[in-house]
Structure 1
Amino acid sequence: MTSILIKFIANAAALAVAVWLLDGITLGDEGASTGSQALTLALVALIFGLVNLIVKPIVRLLSLPLLLLTLGLFSLVINALMLMLTSWIAGDAFHVDGFWTAVLGGLIVGLVSWGVSAAFDRD
């Protein structure tokens, strides 16, 4: 149970950093209150976690030849696609403008999520 909570917090922190750093990724209404934005961020982090749990393994398995051919660099494209799928599912709560913004956002989310998970996961 603790591992799930750590992954949720890591996803929320990583998405918050991506929203903060990139103009092409937006979270809800800009004029919304801080509490409303925090709730929206938690909802988007939950959606992103479910997308990564359910869809990402299937996509990785189907793209295994490309992953091997590119020595794993195709995982950046997979991360971008998961971020764009999250944007599509979340609707107006979370929006990613274009593929290249999603690639850069996926890179940021991956790095920050890895760093937060490494800092908090003491198993």
Structure 2
Amino acid sequence: MTRLLVQWLLNAGALLLVANVYSGVQVHSLTSALWAAIILGLLNTVVRPVLVLLTLPVTLVTLGLFLVVVNGLVFWLASALLGGLQVNGFWAAVWGALLYSALGLVIDSLLARLFPQ
């Protein structure tokens, strides 16, 4: 439970960092970042696998590069669902998703060291 809470807070912080580093993504407040982290987690758990399955032929033809587009679509969908997260178009969503995913990898490796299983 503690690991999940820490991961949620760090993901919200990562989203705030993305908004500060990249002008194509805006987060209006800490509360918006917290909600966005929850929504992105849910979308990545439920919607992303369906999109990956539906786009599998295109993903295979592009040797997996189409997954970047899928990540951008999920990020863009999250911004459409939340008023506090604003993304300036599809390509801004792709770049924002790339940055957020890179920070997520760092967070996951940090948490794996802090909370060994």
What's the TM-score bracket when you normalise by the shorter of the two chains? 0.7 to 0.9
Question: Partners of 1:75 and 1:10 in 2: how far apart?
Answer: 24
Q: Report SS of the residue matched to 1:111.
A: helix
Normalising to structure 1: TM-score of the pair?
0.83
The residue that corresponds to 2:82 in the other structure is 90
- Over 3 Å counting, the alpha-carbon distance change for 1:63 and 1:16 in structure 2 is same
Equivalence for 1:19: 19
**Letter matched to residue 99 of structure 1:** F
What TM-score, normalized to structure 2?
A: 0.87
Contact 1:19–1:25 under 8 Å retained in 2: yes
Aligned match of 2:68 in 70, 73, 76?
76
Q: CA deviation at 1:42?
A: 0.6
Alignment size in residue pairs: 114
Shift of 1:21: 1.0
- Contact 2:8–2:37 under 8 Å retained in 1: yes
Structure 1 residue runs without a partner (length 5+): 29-36
Higher relative contact order (CA 8 A, sep 6+): 1
